[in-house]
Structure 1
């Protein structure tokens, strides 16, 4: 019994080892391996004794932070986690100095996917599936007045890569929209909405901006945020689907949050509904996209508070230009 970790036994998450047991309210969990760690503690892949099921247990060393994440998860209990593409929580239990949250096991994050894919371009088939499911997730959160506040590449995971199923995870910073005061320090820098930076009134539209940045990173292979220079040059196959996606991005990345597209409206966009568009090419066909003649060059530059976008069709020589100002 010396390997069991009970409520009346002092311990620290860093002392946990593979093979240790955690005694929860709904069963006893055995640590099989550690999936990752951070400032909060560790995430362990665990099995439950007497069950073939596998779980991901987030072990949080800061008791207050653990309780806050549990309270945040309680906000979304009314939502169906599978229908709305949200991470499923089974239970929360505590013992001295440690909080454990038991979640469903998922595959890998978008961050890990891009790294393993060596930041190569992602087919629109993947992007569309990701966008549709995350729009549904944000629509559900908006319906109950909850803001995630921390949407980024490593907080969206594959639930099933073969069927392109995704889930939104980590609700540790989620709050009710009415509790978002001006000047709130939320979102990591590269996914931070303009209104957060400028200290303006906030609402759930901050999540849409962050998701728009995620979709751009995934499609453009995260080049935009990894570039050493402010000028970033992209070459993509031309076609209705890509142009429709870029149009959707423009609707999401509206500097004025009042003009930003909502999750419900995004679900009705042509890129998602496929109305008036040719079918999305399969992943196999996407491998040969770069060999086609027609290409679109996109040049994004930034200077002071101005963001400029230039689009040039290599085949027909058409060029379009649009400039945004953070203060307009």
Structure 2
């Protein structure tokens, strides 16, 4: 018998979609696997200026797929992932339309909810104990967020969850693309500053909300910030207007709505839990984490600072995969690390420094490419002024507060929201989208 433990959640003020790189939003779904037990329903997902995606479904095998009931049992793959075919059901209630992404935790699929008659996103967790246990912790966090997020405007909303064939399945509202995917689809062209301001305001509101609930996200990055809507408009890209282009590169896309929500609470930590392990995706990892000094709420604010730079420039601030290079990049952009932090670094981080607490750079560099990657970086003010015209001064000052090395001196989320970058009388983002101004 199949176990289906279903927990329902309030269903008000919901929007639309999630998750993980590689995401397939705005892309045609990948080629379907050859049908073995059941033939597959092929759906082409198209996004444009309309509010909802259009599905062109092949009816070749449509009659062969049961509209109710579950598919035959199949063994999981070698990594514990659930094996499915497009068009079949995930429990009688949910019909699988496409695969949206995959991560270490499992997979995310887009489904049609036959009961509520809407599209949802379902995270199917691998059938391995540690991932099942982590999923139950995530559900606990999501429930806590849902109870306090009145109107569901800050974080992705959980619809329900169930245990299906030894896979924890978490059902979410379906949202639009991540900020990372929006940048990627725009050839990593930056967002206009007024849009960055609005996105930053919402991001900090969401972080402040979580911190007030004594929760630390620990994995803030553009992939985990989703636009509520997939609608977008094409506007002139004035940086390219002076050049002739056959592929239309003098136009870029901007979201019609700036509304965003946080996702992926699989790494979220309660304040009272153990904070001794490494957190955050590399590019957005705070110095106290790398140095082994322990971490808390301020690690989220460092990530926010890195994200704001990326939205302004189109590229990750610290594009690196090793600790010494990462610290060298920080010093190149922000100046020397504080002596009091260096001398307290744990044993694993001691090797990155010489006597006298000076970073072992460039002598410790692994390659000339690594040295060039650091040397090409600009100081933070110069980097921002290269991409931002008006509001550059305010943004630089805000970033210098968010990217302070010492977590005790770093801006808190509510403090950042009171910064002049957000409080000065500026043009509204709606004008920005209409005109395409930068």
TM score, norm. by length of structure 1: 0.78
Farther-moved stretch of structure 1 (142-151 vs 33-42): 33-42
Is the alpha carbon distance of 1:118 and 1:255 closer, same or farther for their aligned partners in structure 2, counting shifts above 3 Å?
same
Equivalent residue of 2:264, what SS?
coil
Equivalent residue of 1:232, what SS?
coil
Higher strand share: 1
Task: Tell me how far apart the structure 2 counterparts of residues 244 and 138 of structure 1 sit (CA, whole Å).
Answer: 21
Query: Does the 8 Å contact 2:159/2:173 carry over to 1?
Result: yes
Task: Tell me how far apart the structure 1 counterparts of residues 154 and 302 of structure 2 sit (CA, whole Å).
Answer: 19
1:263 aligns with 2:413: yes
Structure 2 residue aligned with 1:311:
none
1:78 aligns with 2:226: no
Task: Tell me how far apart the structure 2 counterparts of residues 142 and 223 of structure 1 sit (CA, whole Å).
Answer: 25
Structure 1 residue aligned with 2:177:
108
Structure 1 unmatched ranges of 5 or more: 290-328
- Superimposed CA distance per residue, residues 63-89 of structure 1 (whole angstroms, 9 cap, x where no aligned partner): 233223223323323221645510100
1:195 aligns with 2:288: yes
Is the alpha carbon distance of 1:81 and 1:90 closer, same or farther for their aligned partners in structure 2, counting shifts above 3 Å?
farther
Structure 2 residue aligned with 1:232:
377
Query: Does the 8 Å contact 2:146/2:152 carry over to 1?
Result: no
The Cα shift of 1:237 comes to: 4.3
1:279 aligns with 2:427: yes
Task: Tell me how far apart the structure 1 counterparts of residues 282 and 94 of structure 2 sit (CA, whole Å).
Answer: 37
Q: Indicate the RMSD between aligned Cα atoms, in angstroms.
A: 2.5
The Cα shift of 1:236 comes to: 2.9
Is the alpha carbon distance of 1:237 and 1:77 closer, same or farther for their aligned partners in structure 2, counting shifts above 3 Å?
closer
Task: Tell me how far apart the structure 1 counterparts of residues 421 and 75 of structure 2 sit (CA, whole Å).
Answer: 51
Structure 2 residue aligned with 1:15:
83
The Cα shift of 1:138 comes to: 0.9
Is the alpha carbon distance of 1:80 and 1:271 closer, same or farther for their aligned partners in structure 2, counting shifts above 3 Å?
same
Task: Tell me how far apart the structure 2 counterparts of residues 259 and 213 of structure 1 sit (CA, whole Å).
Answer: 17
Structure 1 residue aligned with 2:273:
179
TM score, norm. by length of structure 2: 0.59
- Superimposed CA distance per residue, residues 246-266 of structure 1 (whole angstroms, 9 cap, x where no aligned partner): 111111111111111111111
Query: Does the 8 Å contact 2:284/2:302 carry over to 1?
Result: yes
Equivalent residue of 2:168, what SS?
strand
1:55 aligns with 2:83: no
Equivalent residue of 1:15, what SS?
coil
Structure 1 residue aligned with 2:105:
40
**More RCO (CA 8 Å, sep 6+):** 2
**1:162 aligned to 240, 253, 256, which one?**
256
Task: State the number of aligned residues.
Answer: 281
Question: For 1:69-148, what aligned pairs fall within 5 Å after superposition?
Answer: 69-80=138-149, 82=151, 84-148=153-217
**2:302 aligned to 206, 209, 214, which one?**
209
Structure 2 unmatched ranges of 5 or more: 1-65, 230-254, 321-371
Query: Does the 8 Å contact 1:29/1:46 carry over to 2?
Result: yes
The Cα shift of 1:118 comes to: 0.8
Query: Does the 8 Å contact 1:84/1:140 carry over to 2?
Result: no
Structure 1 residue aligned with 2:19:
none
Structure 2 residue aligned with 1:326:
none
